[in-house]
Amino acid sequence: MHEGAIIHSLLEIAKETKIKENLKKVTEIKIVVGKFHQVIEEVMITNFKYMKDDYDGFENAILTMTERNVRVKCLDCNHDFSIDEPIFMCPKCNSFNTELTAGKELYIETIEGTD
């Protein structure tokens, strides 16, 4: 259940931003999550709904999530590919000498609110 832990830290960051930007209400939090983290959007949103009540001014806030594909580059043949399963093998030359180039993202893109 790491979704709960992720939502907790996102809410903490959003709380800081809310104070810094003098927002009364937070209306929307947009996040970007790489598929490497293997979070389930519905679980994220459910967690968010329950956990936001502990934060002042988040009553009407909604969470929207954009997923990023996991992309891998083969260091042997330079083939660039995206994967759905955590199998880091190059489909072209079967090498495991690969590196992750995208998909580890986990950040808040924007926080909207009213002041």
- Using the contact rule CB under 5 A, the part of the chain among 13-21, 34-42, 47-55, 71-79 near Zn ion is 71-79
- Contacting residue, 17, 27, 69, 95, with Zn ion by CB under 5 A: 95
Kindly provide the residue ranges of all beta strands, DSSP E only, lying in 3-74, ordered along the sequence: 25-34, 62-68, 70-74
Query: 80 forms bridges with which residues in the sheet?
Result: 73
- Contacting residue, 6, 26, 39, 74, with Zn ion by CB under 5 A: 74
Minimal distance, residue 85 CB to Zn ion, in Å: 17
Separation in Å, CA 12 to CA 8, 19, 30, 68, 89: 6, 11, 14, 23, 37
Contact status: 5 vs Zn ion (CB under 5 A): no
Question: What are the backbone dihedrals phi and psi of residue 56, each rounded to the nearest 5 degrees, phi first?
Answer: -65, 130
Contact status: 87 vs Zn ion (CB under 5 A): no
Q: Which is nearer to Zn ion, 59 or 86 (CB)?
A: 86
Query: Tokens at residue 99, please?
Result: 């590196």
* Interacting residue ranges for Zn ion, rule: CB under 5 A: 74, 76-77, 79, 90, 92-93, 95
